Amino acid sequence: MSFKNIVREMKEMKDGVGSISRRGVEGKHWRSRPRSHIAPDLAAPSQPIEQGQWANLPPELLLDIIRRVEESMTSWPARTVVVFCASVCKSWRDITKEIVKPLEECGRLTFPISLKQPGPRDAPIQCFIKRDRTTSTYCLYFGLTPLAAEDQSDKLLLAAKKIRRATSTEFVISLVRDDFSRASNTYLGKLRSNFLGTKFTIYDSQPPNDAAVQHNSFLSRRFHSKRVSPRLPAYNNSAATVSYELNVLRTRGPRRMQCIMHSVPVSSIQEGGAAPTPTSFPQIIEKSSPRLVSKGKEPETYFSSPNLSSFGEPLVLRNKAPRWHEQLQCWCLNFKGRVTVASVKNFQLVAAFDPSLNIPAAEQEKVILQFGKIGKDIFTMDYCYPISAFQAFAISLSSFDTKPACE
């Protein structure tokens, strides 16, 4: 059979791949939602997979087929074929996991875990955010421009919903735009503000690496919640803190912000440094420990403190200072054409470092995250190593909250 025929047959499997999800999302439930172009993650499903005729291919031939598919399908939506390869059977899935490299190395978004991995070093991942004021939702799309956003198939990366509370504001982040429950398998984390909207905490649903979360040493606070899945307590790890400087004198000017990345060490931007790179989502535990979920009690949510001893000093990001343009009479930053509308929300983040650290000159001025307005309720977001799409999206969401004390 020719290579083209193999690819054609894999495309015909499109209706059946929804049942194979890394996080237990059933096919019928998955297909009923607006489809994200980030496909289900790779892992052994809870139910045994029926091995078909494709499972008996010689390993050498199978390796060559999947490698050729991965190298040829570099952009979306064509890259969904790579996901179809991982959804055929266990042997195909294992080889696909071996071939598809982390986002930092290949620069290609493929599976949902790519959204938790640090971006590429050479070029930023370019995305845009659409805000829906009526539903208080924010959708992150992959692409240069929002022109193709009308066709929402195979483009959605992340979605967030703004929830106002008495003393704070929360942005719940999910893989889909119609389910923001922490009991859902699509829940990734959240962003929570303080009362004044000057400090935000980013909570991640999983640790920054693949190490198992230890109940006795890693957890610092817990409370009961009816929204948490009874199969697995929802962990909210403090991944980062975003702080906005108070504007006491009410002087006109851009916002000043600082981000402390608890889950990213400052050594990641030094020579030979590396950022934590998760390779899979936490396994769903069917039989929870009686100590964690007792019979007759509500399941619990756990908030953990960052374990800085295992990462060293955290990476600190600061907003790049703009310059005053005399002719335009406004503050300006060079967004290289990615931002076209003046807004107090626009910012660029660079690393704030100690001069004693061995930080390369190229890293000192490198823009790690930039966010800005290009139209009504449309914003661009570009990020790169060492932060992930989830972290970049959460930081950008903090700019949407009202900050009367900072402006």
pLDDT band at residue 158, thresholds of 50, 70 and 90?
A: very high
Assign 195 to helix, strand or coil. Answer: coil
Q: Which two tokens stand for residue 270?
A: 């030094």
pLDDT at 99 over 50: yes
pLDDT in tens, 214-255: 433 343 333 334 444 444 445 678 999 999 988 654 555 678
Comparing 119-123, 153-157, 282-286, 291-295, the range with the smallest average pLDDT is 291-295
pLDDT in tens, 31-54: 444 444 444 444 444 454 455 667
Please report how the helices 90-99 and 59-72 are oriented relative to each other, as an axis angle in degrees rounded to 10. Answer: 50
Question: Within 10 Å of residue 253's Cβ, how many Cβ atoms?
Answer: 11
Integer Cα distance of 103 and 165 in angstroms: 36
Integer Cα distance of 356 and 330 in angstroms: 35
- Of 140, 195, 183, 401, the C-alpha closest to 301 is 183
Looking at residue 380, its pLDDT comes to 94
pLDDT in tens, 249-273: 455 567 889 999 999 999 898 888 8
3-state per-residue secondary structure call for 217-267 = HHEEEEEECCCCCCCCCEEEEEEEEEEECCCCCCCCCCCCEEEEEEEEEHH
pTM here?
A: 0.77
Integer Cα distance of 353 and 266 in angstroms: 8
% of the chain at pLDDT higher than 90 = 32
pLDDT in tens, 105-134: 988 898 889 999 999 998 999 999 999 999
pLDDT at 75 over 50: yes
